[in-house]
């Protein structure tokens, strides 16, 4: 077993200081990193949609309470807020997901609220309301579907940011347990090897994060160009 072996025909991305294949750990760790990104953004999206619909549709004190709470979250830098949440809940995979989800909630809430404020005054919504439809029908069947294009675009672009935030938390020791091959953990364990000139253990996980985040951002841009009718008419 070759300890800290450089890239070769046997180990395409080299081996770490314990002789483990770096490429295998990156591939296995992609499951964990993508799980964190997808699940955290999904959780933040669901909570944000509910809050945004309530704020935009009902207004008044509900809108003020939800939006002022969102302003409080916006007042903190994203990474600092994530660190604070993990510090309160403790390190761990599930707590990292919650911390990253908290960052997504206020933006989703604002996106949905802005659409709901406009849509609740639309003629077709007023017609359905005049027919005696309850609020839940107006929200679920008529207002929510019209907000989904913007939500889908931001959801896609937010995944990359969430993966990067989770990797940053792991890098400073606030992520999953050190033995979990999450991309941030792999980078954290390779710091001493990087200083010793064993570059491959740090470079390849970093490239995995870079290209994954870039891919989701490009996908989000493509979806925005496809789903936004204003851009189609431009």
Contact, 9 vs 23, CB < 8 A?
no
Contact, 22 vs 31, CB < 8 A?
no
Alpha helices in 59-92 (DSSP H): 60-74, 78-89
94 backbone dihedrals φ, ψ, rounded to 5°: -65, -40
Q: What is the pTM of this model?
A: 0.85
Q: What is the pLDDT of residues 13-28, one digit of tens each?
A: 777 777 778 888 888 8
CB within 8 A of 229, min separation 6: which ones?
Answer: none
Q: Where are the beta strands (DSSP E) in 89-183?
A: none
Q: What is the pLDDT of residues 149-198, one digit of tens each?
A: 888 888 998 998 899 998 888 888 888 887 788 888 888 887 777 766 67
CA dihedral of residues 85, 44, 224, 125 (deg, nearest 10): -140
CB within 8 A of 208, min separation 6: which ones?
Answer: 26, 29, 30, 183
Q: Identify which of 15, 11, 194, 175 has the alpha carbon closest to the alpha carbon of residue 86.
A: 175
Which tokens sit at 90?
Answer: 């403790």
| Share of the chain residues as helix, strand and coil, in percent rounded to the nearest 5 | 75, 0, 20
Q: How confident is the model at residue 135 (pLDDT cuts 50, 70, 90)?
A: confident
Report the half-sphere exposure of 91 (CA within 13 A, side-chain side).
14
Q: Over 90: is that where the pLDDT of 45 sits?
A: yes
Tokens 């760790």 correspond to 29
Q: How confident is the model at residue 108 (pLDDT cuts 50, 70, 90)?
A: very high
Average pLDDT over residues 196-223: 84
Say how far residue 50 (Cα) sits from the centre of its chain.
Answer: 18
CA angle 223, 225, 230 (to 5 degrees): 130
Residue predicted with more confidence, 2 or 84: 84
């Amino acid at each position: 077993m070759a300890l800290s072996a450089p890239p070769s025909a046997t180990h395409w991305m080299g081996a770490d200081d314990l002789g483990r294949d770096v490429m295998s750990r990156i591939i296995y760790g992609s499951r964990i990193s993508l799980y964190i990104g997808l699940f955290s953004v999904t959780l933040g999206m669901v909570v944000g949609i509910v809050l945004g619909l309530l704020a935009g549709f009902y207004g008044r004190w509900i809108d003020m309470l939800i939006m002022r709470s969102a302003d409080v979250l916006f007042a903190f830098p994203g990474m600092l807020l994530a660190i604070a949440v993990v510090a309160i809940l403790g390190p761990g995979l599930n707590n990292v997901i919650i911390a990253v989800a908290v960052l997504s909630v206020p933006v989703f809430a604002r996106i949905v609220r802005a659409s709901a404020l406009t849509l609740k005054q639309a003629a077709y919504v007023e017609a359905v309301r005049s027919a005696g439809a309850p609020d839940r029908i107006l929200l679920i069947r008529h207002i929510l579907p019209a907000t989904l294009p913007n939500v889908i675009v931001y959801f896609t672009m937010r995944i990359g940011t969430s993966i990067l935030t989770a990797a940053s938390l792991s890098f400073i020791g606030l992520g999953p347990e050190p033995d979990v091959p999450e991309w941030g953990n792999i980078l954290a364990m390779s710091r001493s090897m990087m200083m010793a000139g064993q570059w491959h253990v740090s470079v390849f996980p970093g490239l995995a994060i870079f290209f994954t985040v870039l891919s989701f951002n490009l996908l989000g841009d493509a979806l925005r160009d496809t789903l936004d009718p204003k851009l189609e008419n431009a």
